[in-house]
Amino acid sequence: MARKFVRAIFPGSFDPITNGHLDVINRSIKLFDELIIAVGRSPVKNQLFTPEERVEMIAELITDMPGISVESFDGLTVEYAAKKKADVILRGLRSLTDVQYEFQLAMTNRAVAGIETVFVMTSEQYGFTSSTLIRQVASLGGNLTKLIPKNVHNRLQQRLKKRES
């Protein structure tokens, strides 16, 4: 019996992408034939980078990663997944708090659109990291070199300097 081709989407705001996100991406590509990093446009969140800037930063990080692409999308994740003919939605988990929220979301996505969700636990050293926390620490001048990729760190510093002036 031939093995089925499996396409996954990894949706998120990625504002900015963290080493925790990259950890999930690097480990999950082994599970799927294709992974689309889907940068969502959220009208609710106060975003530091535009969706285009986030796609650019992620594209720089995945150039040498076969089977992975990045693009932005509007609207519901399940509608985007259907448009891309994705078999699963990939979600990273950091903590028990994530589990409760993500479980509810996964059940809703399956009920509404019939799409399954696959969870990948982030490595222990990134279990506390979130884009929101990164933005807060950066705004207070904290050292983020171990938590975000170098290209993202450079852009974050530039953005914060621009906001200060």
- Which residues are catalytic, by number? 21, 45, 94, 131
Return the H-helix or E-strand segment holding 132.
Answer: helix 131-139
Q: How far apart are CA 80 and CA 99, in angstroms?
A: 23
DSSP symbol at 98: H
Contact (CB, 8 A) for 64 and 84: no
CA 38 vs. chain centroid, Å, equals: 7
**Rounded to the nearest 5°, which phi and psi values hold at 142?**
-75, 160
CB count within 10 Å of CB 26 equals 15
Q: Which region, left, alpha or beta, applies to residue 137 given φ > 0 means left and ψ of -120 to 50 means alpha? A: alpha
Structure tokens at 127: 């279990």
Q: How far apart are CA 71 and CA 112, in angstroms?
A: 23
